């Protein structure tokens, strides 16, 4: 029961994050969608570690790795946002059209 509640919450966060990542026009809001997805993944990892595999230490390690991925994604993401703004004054995804058909 506990595991089901936590995992359904994680699934909801992943769905919300996917909605945000696909629908938002602003780069920063898009990144918030990605962060929400990783939030859901972190919650699922903690849930499984705590209730399904008896506290194996590798479970906590996976949670730490998810947090490291979050940090890396945000750092490089914001650096790219700054770089693309300086080059093309683009702060929305609509302004970047060079790869369009």
Positions 15 through 34 that interact with other proteins (CB under 8 A): 15-20, 22-29, 31-33
Helix, coil or strand: residue 43: helix
We find the least distance from the C-beta atom of residue 101 to other proteins, in angstroms, to be 16
Query: Smallest Cα–Cα separation from 66: which of 32, 47, 50, 43?
Result: 43
Q: Shortest Cβ distance from residue 51 to other proteins (Å)?
A: 5
Q: DSSP letter at 53?
A: S
Minimum distance from residue 8 beta carbon to other proteins (Å) = 6
The number of residues that bind other proteins (CB under 8 A) is 75
Q: What is the token pair recorded at 65?
A: 């790795």
Are 90 and 51 contacting, i.e. CB atoms less than 8 angstroms apart? Answer: no
Tell me the C-alpha to C-alpha distance, in Å, between residue 45 and each of 11, 36, 87.
12, 14, 39
- What minimum distance in Å lies between the beta carbon of 99 and other proteins? 16
22 or 99: CB nearest other proteins: 22
Site string for other proteins, 41-60 (x = CB under 8 A): -xx--xxxxxxxxxx-xx-x
């Amino acid at each position: 029961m506990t595991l089901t509640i936590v995992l359904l919450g994680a699934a909801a966060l992943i769905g919300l994050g996917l909605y945000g990542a696909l629908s938002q026009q602003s780069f920063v809001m898009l990144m918030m969608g990605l962060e929400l997805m990783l939030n859901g993944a972190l919650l699922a990892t903690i849930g499984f570690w705590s209730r399904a595999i008896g506290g194996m230490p590798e479970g906590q390690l996976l949670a730490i790795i998810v947090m490291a991925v979050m940090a890396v994604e945000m750092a490089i993401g914001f650096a790219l946002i700054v770089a693309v703004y300086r080059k093309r004054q683009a702060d929305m995804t609509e302004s970047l059209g060079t790869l369009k058909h």
